[in-house]
Each structure stands twice: as structure tokens, then as C-alpha cells.
Structure 1
Amino acid sequence: MKIASIFAVLIGFCGTASLALAEDAHVIFAPGDVKWVEAPKMLPAGAQAAVLFGNPTKKGLFALRLKVPSGYAIPPHTHPGYEVVTVLSGAAKFGMGKTADRGATKALPAGSFFALPPGTAHFVYFDDETVLQINTNGPWGIKYVNPADDPQKSQ
């Protein structure tokens, strides 16, 4: 049931580019072509998202950009599939584990890359506006280590 509600939220921001795409579609985006919308409610408020290719709610390859404001943070969490991320602009402070510790993060400036196996607990802080690109296989989701950190619980 919870997975179904997560995917329903994702559909809201997928429509911009991906839901109309055929599996063999040719897609090109210049930076000014990216259409940002409010990120799904499974993420802390304030982020924006843009689906460039595919559909994160379905099985298969997708490309998603996430733009976060200065001061943004995502508490410790895991994903059901591989998390494959490139920092396009700004910087991320990336940490591993089930407990958020700013002092145990690694600074990842623009151009950095990371990939994590499914179920790997991690967290991230952003001191500046940052754009990340996630290229992986869906369906995509997020599970917070501490359920109280889930923004959907506070709504």
C-alpha cells in the first residue's frame, strides 16, 4: 500500500517528459529545456525534480534530475534498487550509515559520481543549491531509516 502511494506521488512529476515517451524514443535536452516541478512528497520539502527519460514509477531505465536549495538535507535512507548519481552543479556532503553525522561526510563537488547497491543506508547535506542526476532502473523509491524522518508521515 505504501509503495503504491509513493508511486502515485511520483506520477505527478513524471508527466513533464517521460510518461509519453515510447521505450525506444530519442530524447535530447538542453539545460534550458528542463522543466522543473515540485519533487515528490517522499523527499523533504523544497526540492524540485525533472524526469528526462523513462518513468521512475515503472520497471526500466530512467534519468531524473533533482534540484535542492541551499541548506537542504536528506536524512538516512535506503533505495530498493541501485542509486547511481552524478553531481551536476553545486556540491553534496555525502555520508554512509544509519545515523546522520555531518562530520562523517565526504564533500562531492560538481562532476562527482557515486553508486550504491540496493538497501545501502546513506544521507546527504547541501550547503549550496545543487543539481543531481540519477540514472538507474525503476521503480525508484526511498525508505527512511527512522520512519519519523519520512516527510509523508508529517502531512
Structure 2
Amino acid sequence: MTSSDIKWAPIPSMPKGTQTTVLHGNPGKPGLYTARLKIPANSKMPVHSHPDERVRVIISGTYYSALGDKVDTSKLLSFPPGTFSHVPPKVWQFAETRDEEVIFEVTGIGPTGIDYLNPEDDPRKQK
């Protein structure tokens, strides 16, 4: 698959404007999957967790992320392009983008999903 083959689609469980594409597998079913996410500039990811263990590689832009059950921007670490990171399952985390769009690739063993510590932060529940 080349970059020109990628078809982006909205992902309702993430901040408005975020898009995803599945490169391999099916993230909603058991088994290996790889997906890419494109997150707009100036997006905030409230405290959330994922049910699966995953690895992440930043492709473009700088992603800011930290572990914890309360947003504390002083704890954010910068993940510039090329950064590889491991994200344990069921660990609370928060993140943001700043002045640029961020694209990253995530690989894990599905099924995956996203749970928000505060249900009111879930974009799927907002009107």
C-alpha cells in the first residue's frame, strides 16, 4: 500500500476532524491490526484508555502525550516524527496536538477501542 492508496475516514470516538485508515486487519475483531490516525492541529485528547496493548510510531507532526488519570500539561512529553512508543493496555493517558496536524501509526492485537475516564468527554456522546 502506498500513501496514494490511503482512504481516510472520520473516527467519531476521537476529537472532531480526526481521521483514520486501516492498513491491516480489523481493529474491531481479534487479531493483529495496523491503523493510521490523522489528528488536526490544536486537538485535545481527554483522559482515556484502550483495552489492547499497542505500539505507536509518529509519522508527521509532534504529538504530546502523558500517562495519568488527570490532565496535567506539565507532564506532557513530546513525540516528534520517527518516535516509537509502547502504550500498555487499560492505562489512563491524555494527549494533544499543537500548531500542526499529527499522523501516527498504531499496531495492536484487537479488538481495540477507546474508553474515556469521564463519559462526558466521549465525542460520541456529544451533540
TM-score, normalization by structure 1: 0.78
1:30, CA displacement in angstroms? 1.2
Residues 115-153 of structure 1, C-alpha deviation per residue, up to 9 Å, x if partnerless?
A: 122111111110110101011111010000111111112
1:83, CA displacement in angstroms? 2.5
Is it true that 1:132 corresponds to 2:81 in the alignment? Answer: no
Mapping of residues 21-32 of structure 1, within 5 Å = 29-32=1-4
Is it true that 1:96 corresponds to 2:67 in the alignment? Answer: yes
Match of residue 66 from structure 1: 37
Residues 61-97 of structure 1, C-alpha deviation per residue, up to 9 Å, x if partnerless?
A: 0110000111012111111110311111101011110
Is it true that 1:50 corresponds to 2:21 in the alignment? Answer: yes
Secondary structure of 2:45's counterpart equals strand
Q: Which has the higher contact order (CA 8 A, sep 6+)?
A: 2
1:32, CA displacement in angstroms? 1.5
Distance in 1, matches of 2:85 and 2:77, equals 11
Q: Indicate the structure with greater strand content.
A: 2
Percent of aligned pairs with the same amino acid: 36
Larger radius of gyration: 1
**For the aligned residues, what is the CA RMSD?**
1.0
Pairs aligned (count): 126
Gaps of 5+ in 1: 1-28
Distance in 1, matches of 2:79 and 2:15, equals 20
Gaps of 5+ in 2: none
Match of residue 141 from structure 1: 113
TM-score, normalization by structure 2: 0.94
1:45, CA displacement in angstroms? 1.4
Match of residue 123 from structure 2: 151
Distance in 2, matches of 1:134 and 1:116, equals 10
Q: Indicate the structure with greater helix content.
A: 1
Secondary structure of 1:71's counterpart equals coil
Distance in 1, matches of 2:23 and 2:44, equals 23
